C-alpha cells in the first residue's frame, strides 16, 4: 500500500486556479520530489494532504486514510514544515517541544535537543528574536523530533544557509535509510535531483511528469553547442528531436526576452555569430551520425539535464501567463 | 488537549493578568468614587441635560433627579469602563483563532498538529470561559475590597450582586460567541474585531437613541444592551430569566455556528 496517494485531486480558489486532477503515489521509504514553479500548485496539494484545505473533488489519502476526515489521526505520524514558516513570536524551541510533546503524549525533549545541536539552534531564544533561517530551523526540529513515518516538507531550504541545507539533507537521508517516507517540495531542481528517488512535476495545477529520477533523466533533453567553421552557415535543416534555441542570423523557438536570452548567457558575446545552441530530446545516435557529416568546428554535447526539462515546463507556464496578460 | 491549553496559556496569560488588574482597580475606584459623584448628580442634570438620557440609556430606567444607592450600584455594573475592559478582553481572545492564526500565518503550525479542529475549538472555548470567570471575579474582588470603605447602604447585597453578575456573564458569553463566529468566518483578525466592535457600538447607539426616538424602540430588541439591565435586576431582586436566556441562546447559536464553520472550512494562510 502507498504511504501517500492522491487521485484526480482538484481544487480551485474561487476564480483563481488551484489544482486539477492531481494524481500522486508515494511509496514507503521513498524520498519523493515535488517540483514546480511558484504558484504551480505544490503548496495547495500539500495543504490538502495536511487537511488544511478541502478538495473540490478527488481523493487524498495518507496511510490509507482520508486526509480531510482522518486528519488528526494521520498527523500523529506526519511531520510538516510549511513553505513560509510563521511561528508564534513567544515560542522558543524548548517551549515548542514541550507543547508538541504534550500533544503527542510522549517526551520529545531529548530528540529535540539533539536536533537543536545539529542545527545549531538556541533552545531558549524566542521566535520574535530569530532570523528567518532560525525560524525555519525551529519548524524543522519540531517536525523531525516526532520521528514521523511521513515527512512533508514544503520548500524547506528557503532561508537556510548552505551548511544548514547540507545538515538537513543528511538528516533526510538518515530518515529515508530508516524506512521513513519524505515528500520534498521545491522549485530548486538541484536539491531535488541530489536527494530524491522519484519526482513529480506540477505546472499550472496539473502534474506534467511523474517518474523515477533515472527515467526522467532519459527523457530530459541535452544541451548541444555547435561551433561553426569560419565560413560556414548554420544548416537550414536539423535532424529530428532537435530544437534550435539559437543560430546565427535568427533566433527561433522561445520568445527572445524569456528562455532564449537565458540560454545565450552560456555563449560568449563575441562567439554568437558562429555558434548554434540546440536541445536534443531522445537518443543521440542519429544526431551524432548527422553531425559527423557537417564539418562543424566543434560540437559539445551535455548530459541529459533535468534542469532543461524543468525550465521547459516553466517556460510554457510563463508563456501562458504572458499570453493572459 | 493539554498541549493546546499550554499553548493558549502561554499566549494569553499576560494580557489576561493585565485585564484582571485593570478590572480590579476600576471596580474598586468606581465603588469608592461613584457615591460621591452621584450624590450631586442633580446639579449635573441641571447643567448638562444630555447626561440624564445617557445614564437612563445605560441603566435602562429613569433615575429621576436623585440617584439612589441602588441605582448607583447599578451604574457601577453598567459603567462603560467595565464593559469596555471586558469586551476588549473578549475581542482580543475570541478573534485569535482562527482569524488571528490565519492572519499571522501560525494556523499551519497549529492545524498540522495531531488534534482535531473540534479539540482546538473546545480548548479555545475553555480558555475563553476560564479567563472570563477569572476577570469577572477580579472585578468583583475590586468591588468588594472597596465596598469596605463606603457607607453600608452603598453596599450591594450578595444575592443582588450574584444576579447582576449572572446577567453580565450572559452578556460575556453572547459577545464572545459572536466574536468567535466572526473570527471563524474571517481570514483577517482586524476585520473580525472591527465588525464585532461595530455591532457593540450599534447596540449602545440603539439603546441611547431609544430614549429619544419612539421608532428606535421597535428595533431596540436587536441591541445586546437591551438584555442587560442591572438597575431593574437590583430593584426587583429577581433573576432576569428571559434576558439571560436570550443572551445565552444568542451566545450558544453563534458559538455552535462558529464551530461548524471552523470545522468545515478550508484554511489558507497564503
Over the stretch B4-22, which tens digit does the pLDDT of each residue have?
999 999 999 999 999 999 9
Closest residue in A to B102 (Cα) is A86
Each residue of A133-192: pLDDT tens digit? Answer: 999 999 999 999 999 999 999 989 888 899 999 999 999 999 999 999 999 998 878 888
Q: Can you tell me which residue has the cell 524548548?
A: A94
Nearest in space to A291 (alpha carbons), one of A280, A303, A305: A280
Region A229-252: mean pLDDT is 78
Neighbour-count burial for A244-276, b at 16+ CB within 10 Å, e otherwise? bbbbeeebebbeeeebbeebbeebeeeeeebbb
Question: Would the pLDDT of B50 be above 80?
Answer: no
Helices (H) and strands (E) in chain B, counts: 13, 0
Instruction: Identify the helix (H) or strand (E) that includes residue A81.
Output: strand A78-81
Instruction: Identify the helix (H) or strand (E) that includes residue A57.
Output: strand A57-62
**A183 vs A221 pLDDT, higher one:** A183
User: What is the C-alpha to C-alpha distance for residues A197 and A188, in angstroms, rounded to an integer?
Assistant: 16
Each residue of B251-260: pLDDT tens digit? Answer: 999 999 999 9
Region B134-142: mean pLDDT is 94
Strand partners, A271: none
pLDDT number for residue A257: 39
User: What is the C-alpha to C-alpha distance for residues A46 and A68, in angstroms, rounded to an integer?
Assistant: 12
Question: Is B267 part of the contact surface with chain A (CB cutoff 8 Å)?
Answer: yes
Strand partners, A210: A200
Question: Is A68 part of the contact surface with chain B (CB cutoff 8 Å)?
Answer: no
Among A12, A52, A109, the residue to mutate for chain B (most B Cβ within 10 A): A52
Question: Would the pLDDT of A324 be above 60?
Answer: no
Question: Is A100 part of the contact surface with chain B (CB cutoff 8 Å)?
Answer: yes
Question: Would the pLDDT of A313 be above 70?
Answer: no
Mean pLDDT score of chain B? 89
Q: Which chain B residues are closer than 8 Å to A50 by Cβ?
A: 108, 111-112
pLDDT number for residue A251: 47
Q: Mean pLDDT: which of A205-214, B30-39, B52-61 is highest?
A: A205-214
Each residue of B96-135: pLDDT tens digit? Answer: 989 999 999 999 999 999 999 999 999 999 999 999 999 9
The model carries a pTM of 0.84
Among A16, A42, A47, A93, the residue to mutate for chain B (most B Cβ within 10 A): A47
Contact flag B107-A52 (C-beta cutoff 8 Å): yes
Give the number of other Cβ atoms within 10 Å of residue A13's Cβ. Answer: 11
Binding-face residues of B in 117-136 toward A, CB within 8 A = 119
Each residue of A89-132: pLDDT tens digit? Answer: 999 999 999 999 999 999 999 999 999 999 999 999 999 999 99
**Which residue in A52, A72, A86 is closest to B104 by CB distance?**
A86
pLDDT number for residue A276: 87
Question: Is B11 part of the contact surface with chain A (CB cutoff 8 Å)?
Answer: yes
DSSP states of B56-76? HHHHSS---SS--HHHHHHHH
* Residue A181, phi-psi category: left (phi > 0), alpha (psi -120 to 50), beta (remainder): beta
Which segments of A36-161 does DSSP mark as H helices, in order? 42-49, 71-75, 93-104, 109-118, 132-145
Each residue of A22-58: pLDDT tens digit? Answer: 999 999 999 999 988 888 899 999 999 999 999 999 9
**B190 vs B33 pLDDT, higher one:** B190
Each residue of A244-297: pLDDT tens digit? Answer: 888 876 544 444 434 455 666 777 767 777 888 888 887 778 888 888 888 889
DSSP states of A262-323? HHHTTS-GGGGGGEEEEEE-S-SHHHHHHHTTTT-SEEEEPPP-HHHHHHHHHHHHHHHHHH
Neighbour-count burial for B73-86, b at 16+ CB within 10 Å, e otherwise? bbbbbbbeebbebb
Percent residues over pLDDT 70 in chain A: 90
Weakest-pLDDT range from A111-120, A200-209, A311-320? A311-320
**Which residue in B106, B107, B113 is closest to A103 by CB distance?**
B113
pLDDT number for residue A187: 80
Among A102, A107, A138, A158, the residue to mutate for chain B (most B Cβ within 10 A): A102
Min Cα separation B101/chain A (Å)? 9
Q: Mean pLDDT: which of A310-314, B187-191, B226-230 is highest?
A: B187-191
Residue A59's pLDDT band (cuts 50, 70, 90)? very high
B93 contacts B9 by C-beta, under 8 angstroms: no
Percent residues over pLDDT 90 in chain A: 51
Q: Mean pLDDT: which of A109-113, A192-196, A226-230, A306-310 is highest?
A: A109-113
pLDDT number for residue B122: 96
Each residue of B53-83: pLDDT tens digit? Answer: 777 777 777 777 666 777 777 888 888 899 9
Q: Is the dihedral of CA B129, B135, B139, B140 positive or negative?
A: positive
Q: Can you tell me which residue has the cell 474561487?
A: A14
Min Cα separation B6/chain A (Å)? 7
Question: Is A73 part of the contact surface with chain B (CB cutoff 8 Å)?
Answer: yes
Question: Would the pLDDT of B236 be above 90?
Answer: no
Question: Would the pLDDT of B182 be above 90?
Answer: yes
Amino acid at each position: 500500500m502507498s504511504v501517500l496517494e492522491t487521485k484526480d485531486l482538484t481544487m480551485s480558489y474561487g476564480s483563481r486556479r488551484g489544482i486539477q486532477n492531481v494524481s500522486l503515489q508515494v511509496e514507503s521509504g521513498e524520498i519523493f520530489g515535488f517540483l514546480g514553479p511558484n504558484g504551480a500548485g505544490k503548496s495547495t496539494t500539500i495543504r490538502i494532504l495536511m487537511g488544511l484545505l478541502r478538495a473540490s473533488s478527488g481523493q487524498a489519502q495518507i496511510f490509507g486514510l482520508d486526509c480531510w476526515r482522518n486528519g488528526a489521526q494521520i498527523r500523529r505520524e506526519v511531520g510538516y514544515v510549511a513553505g513560509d514558516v510563521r511561528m508564534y513570536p513567544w515560542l522558543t524551541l524548548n517551549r515548542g517541544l514541550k507543547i508538541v510533546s504534550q500533544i503527542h503524549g510522549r517526551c520529545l525533549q531529548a530528540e529535540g535537543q539533539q536536533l537543536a545541536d545539529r542545527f545549531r539552534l538556541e533552545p531558549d531564544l524566542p521566535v520574535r528574536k530569530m532570523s528567518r533561517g532560525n525560524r525555519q530551523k525551529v519548524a524543522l526540529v519540531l517536525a523531525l523530533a516526532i520521528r514521523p513515518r511521513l515527512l512533508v516538507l514544503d520548500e524547506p531550504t528557503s532561508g537556510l544557509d548552505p551548511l544548514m541545507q547540507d545538515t538537513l539533507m543528511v538528516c533526510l537521508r538518515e530518515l529515508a535509510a530508516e524506512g521513513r517516507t519524505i515528500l520534498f517540495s521545491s522549485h530548486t531542481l538541484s536539491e531535488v535531483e541530489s536527494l530524491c528517488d522519484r519526482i513529480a512535476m506540477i505546472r499550472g495545477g496539473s502534474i506534467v511528469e511523474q517518474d523515477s529520477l533515472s527515467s526522467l533523466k532519459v527523457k530530459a533533453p541535452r544541451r548541444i553547442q555547435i561551433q561553426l567553421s569560419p565560413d560556414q552557415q548554420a544548416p537550414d535543416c536539423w535532424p529530428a528531436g532537435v530544437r534550435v534555441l539559437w543560430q546565427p542570423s535568427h533566433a527561433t523557438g522561445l520568445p527572445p526576452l524569456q528562455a532564449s536570452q537565458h540560454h545565450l548567457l552560456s555563449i560568449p558575446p563575441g562567439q554568437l555569430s558562429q555558434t548554434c545552441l540546440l536541445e536534443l530530446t531522445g537518443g543521440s545516435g542519429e544526431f551524432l551520425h548527422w553531425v559527423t557529416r557537417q564539418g562543424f568546428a566543434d560540437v559539445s554535447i551535455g548530459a541529459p539535464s533535468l534542469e532543461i526539462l524543468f525550465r521547459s515546463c516553466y517556460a510554457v507556464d510563463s508563456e501562458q501567463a504572458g499570453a493572459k496578460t | 488537549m493539554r498541549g493546546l491549553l499550554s499553548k493558549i496559556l502561554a499566549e494569553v496569560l499576560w494580557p489576561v493578568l493585565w485585564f484582571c488588574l485593570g478590572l480590579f482597580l476600576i471596580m474598586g475606584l468606581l465603588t469608592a468614587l461613584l457615591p460621591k459623584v452621584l450624590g450631586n448628580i442633580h446639579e449635573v442634570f441641571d447643567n448638562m441635560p444630555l447626561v440624564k438620557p445617557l445614564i437612563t440609556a445605560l441603566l435602562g430606567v429613569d433615575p429621576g433627579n436623585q440617584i439612589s444607592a441602588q441605582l448607583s450600584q447599578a451604574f457601577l455594573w453598567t459603567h462603560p469602563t467595565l464593559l469596555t475592559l471586558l469586551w476588549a478582553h473578549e475581542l482580543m481572545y475570541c478573534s485569535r483563532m482562527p482569524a488571528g492564526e490565519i492572519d499571522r500565518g501560525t494556523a499551519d503550525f497549529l492545524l498540522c498538529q495531531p488534534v482535531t479542529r473540534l479539540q482546538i475549538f473546545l480548548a479555545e472555548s475553555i480558555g475563553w470561559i476560564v479567563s472570563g470567570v477569572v476577570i469577572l471575579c477580579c472585578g468583583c474582588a475590586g468591588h468588594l475590597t472597596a465596598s469596605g470603605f463606603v457607607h453600608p447602604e452603598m453596599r450591594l447585597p450578595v444575592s443582588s450582586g450574584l444576579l447582576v453578575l449572572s446577567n453580565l456573564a450572559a452578556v460575556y458569553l453572547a459577545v464572545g460567541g459572536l466574536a468567535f463566529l466572526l473570527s471563524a468566518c474571517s481570514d483577517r483578525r482586524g476585520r473580525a474585531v472591527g465588525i464585532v466592535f461595530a455591532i457593540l457600538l450599534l447596540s449602545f447607539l440603539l439603546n441611547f437613541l431609544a430614549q429619544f426616538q419612539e421608532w428606535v424602540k421597535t428595533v431596540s430588541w436587536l441591541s445586546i444592551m437591551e438584555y442587560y439591565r442591572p438597575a431593574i435586576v437590583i430593584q426587583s431582586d429577581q433573576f432576569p430569566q428571559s434576558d439571560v436566556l436570550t443572551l445565552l441562546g444568542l451566545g450558544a447559536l453563534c458559538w455552535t455556528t462558529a464551530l461548524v464553520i471552523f470545522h468545515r472550512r478550508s484554511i489558507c494562510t497564503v
